[in-house]
Amino acid sequence: MCQYHQRFGKIFKMNLGTFQSVQIGDPTLLESIFRKESNYPRRLDIKPWKMYRDYRNEAYGLLTLEGQEWQSMRKTMQRNLMDPKEVSKLDLKMNEVMQDFIIHINNLCHKKGSVDDIYFELNKWSYETICFIFYNRRCGLLQEAYGEDDLKFIKSVKEIMKYLGPLMVTPVNLHRKCNTAQWQKHTQAWDDIFMTVKRFINERLENISNSEKGDILSKISEQSQLSKKELSAIFTELQIGGIETTANALMWAIFNLSQNSNVQEKLYEEIQNTLLPGEHPTAQSLKKMPYLKSCLKESLRLTPTVPFTSRTMEEDTSVGGFLLPQGTVVMINFHAITWNEDFYTDAKKFKPERWLQDKHTLNPFASTPFGIGRRMCVGRRLAELQLQLALCWLVQNFKIYAMDKKAIKAIISTVMLPDRSMPVTFIKR
Ligand code: HEM
């Protein structure tokens, strides 16, 4: 999309198979859309996911709901997921998993000298953390003592991401009618995902009365009248949202640090100046680590995990001097903005300092990795805390090295993917 924006400018029309879209790659246009948003902003319909839910008689979650139903569900989740005070209480649980992750990575590097597939190991970490926070459940993924369903869940999330693009740009109703291989694989992956989430919810709700209730599921089921069907839909979509993205963002942050040893050492210095030797970071102590936060912001700018989002115009709307008729799908290409020299000097370089030195001159709409407005990522605060703690633990414990300096190409898919395994290793400090 970056090349298209270079060729056609900051706004252009594009046919995407089953629908026409307007592509934007400019912070001023993004701001204009944000200023005009309604109470129920809409993204592009995720038809393949909705079709699966209708086919299997499942409910919709936050990613797929619209209108007042979306707003009411969002309010319930927002209270628990976006309140900074509530989220900061989760640092203990996140740290418990992180402690295991450090041992796990140390063991892998000790045995083999490096980690074969860091993305997959990070998926285990994000899954373990999310399940602990959502259901008070430890799965044993970092002790290699896990059930097949847990691994299947991680693989199924990758499957649905893989088939999402192709099923969006071709008529999904035909896929379903002809029972194509893509529809079958997509359906099987969703079946596995829903089955696991339902099992977790049932097991947790059965034990709810006689155990500690710090988990999100206990809170939501106490605060609301949601049925089990609705809970399954919400937690399925939250769990998907939480696993792939956080692992992906940490993978890119590790990669960016491995390529920039000077940044890594500066970050280590900040950690050492803030924490005592062996002391674990907390939500509180992270407040004293501005450089760490800048490293993550910069990593999400340079390598945005979710490279785009969308909005469907609810009425005729004027954007940048163009009249977009009601129903127009606008694709917002984050990476086309964050890689543009007009908004960032040395845009292709990893420079966390820019967030400290230039913060008053940077356009706030030029890097929005969690989206914008009322429909912004509901897991944002959770993800930020989890990523900040993880980065702190990793740099406190290891030097992260690049195994080679060959370029890695970013592939723009549902999430931003590297074109090969990340060549990184961890050496104990
Ligand atoms: C680095 C991590 C993450 C990134 C970069 C990310 C990014 C995004 C983006 C760009 C959107 C679309 C927002 C918009 O259209 O304006 C989104 C939506 C969403 N994300 Fe995340 N996300 C992350 C982590 C998480 C986590 C941890 C969860 C769950 C706990 C989550 C759950 C969701 C859900 C449910 C939505 C839909 C919200 C709605 O429509 O109301 N995400 N995310």
367 lines ligand 1 (CB under 6 A): no
Q: What mean pLDDT do residues 3-29 have?
A: 90
Between 149 and 183, residue with greater pLDDT: 183
* Same structural domain, 243 and 333: no
382 lines ligand 1 (CB under 6 A): yes
Nearest atom in ligand 1 to 310's CA: 15
Percentage of the chain modeled with pLDDT above 90: 81
* Same structural domain, 276 and 412: yes
Pocket test for ligand 1, best of 246, 370, 382, 391 (most atoms within 8 A of CB): 370
307 lines ligand 1 (CB under 6 A): no
Structure confidence at residue 148 (pLDDT): 80
Nearest atom in ligand 1 to 308's CA: 10
Q: Please determine, for residue 153, whether its predicted confidence score (pLDDT) is greater than 80.
A: yes
Closest C-alpha to 396, from 237, 222, 241, 277: 277
Nearest atom in ligand 1 to 249's CA: 1
* CB contact set of 378 (below 8 Å; sequence gap of 6+): 62, 74, 77, 78, 81, 82, 238, 241
* Same structural domain, 64 and 140: yes
385 lines ligand 1 (CB under 6 A): no
Q: Please determine, for residue 195, whether its predicted confidence score (pLDDT) is greater than 80.
A: yes
The predicted-structure confidence for 23-76, as pLDDT tens digits, reads as follows 999 999 999 999 999 999 999 999 999 999 999 999 999 999 999 999 999 999
Q: What single-letter amino acid sits at 26?
A: D
Structure confidence at residue 211 (pLDDT): 66
Q: Please determine, for residue 145, whether its predicted confidence score (pLDDT) is greater than 80.
A: no
- Expressed as residue numbers, the domain containing 361 is 1-35+307-368
Give 305 Cα–ligand 1 centroid separation in angstroms.
10
Q: What mean pLDDT do residues 380-386 have?
A: 98
Ligand 1: residue whose CA is nearest its atom 19? 377
Give 93 Cα–ligand 1 centroid separation in angstroms.
21
Residues in the chain: 429
Q: What mean pLDDT do residues 125-140 have?
A: 95
The predicted-structure confidence for 307-325, as pLDDT tens digits, reads as follows 999 999 999 999 989 999 9
Q: Is the dihedral angle over the CA atoms 415, 419, 421, 423 positive or is it negative?
A: negative
Q: What mean pLDDT do residues 251-258 have?
A: 97
pLDDT band at residue 406 under the 50/70/90 scheme: confident
* Same structural domain, 397 and 265: yes
Closest C-alpha to 356, from 262, 289, 273, 278: 289
* CB contact set of 161 (below 8 Å; sequence gap of 6+): 244, 413, 414, 415
The reply, when asked if residue 139 is annotated as ligand binding, is: no
* Same structural domain, 327 and 223: no
62 lines ligand 1 (CB under 6 A): yes
Examine the fold and report which residue of 368, 385, 418 is the final residue of a domain before the chain moves on.
368
Give 63 Cα–ligand 1 centroid separation in angstroms.
9
Between 148 and 137, residue with greater pLDDT: 137
* Same structural domain, 219 and 156: yes
pLDDT band at residue 252 under the 50/70/90 scheme: very high
Pick from 147-151, 153-157, 222-226, 352-356: least confident = 147-151
Pick from 99-103, 360-364, 387-391: least confident = 360-364
* Same structural domain, 359 and 423: no
The predicted-structure confidence for 261-286, as pLDDT tens digits, reads as follows 999 999 999 999 999 998 999 999 99
Domain count, the chain: 2
Q: What mean pLDDT do residues 152-157 have?
A: 93
383 lines ligand 1 (CB under 6 A): yes
Average pLDDT, the chain: 93
Structure confidence at residue 306 (pLDDT): 96
Structure confidence at residue 210 (pLDDT): 63
309 lines ligand 1 (CB under 6 A): yes
pLDDT band at residue 231 under the 50/70/90 scheme: very high
Angstrom distance (rounded) from CA 314 to CA 290? 39
Nearest atom in ligand 1 to 81's CA: 30
State the pairing for strand pair 329-333/20-24. Answer: parallel
DSSP state of 62: T
Pocket test for ligand 1, best of 46, 295, 377, 412 (most atoms within 8 A of CB): 377
Q: H or E element: which one contains 281?
A: none
Q: Please determine, for residue 113, whether its predicted confidence score (pLDDT) is greater than 80.
A: no
Angstrom distance (rounded) from CA 76 to CA 68? 13
392 lines ligand 1 (CB under 6 A): no
Examine the fold and report which residue of 335, 350, 368 is the final residue of a domain before the chain moves on.
368
Q: What single-letter amino acid sits at 168?
A: M
* Same structural domain, 241 and 373: yes
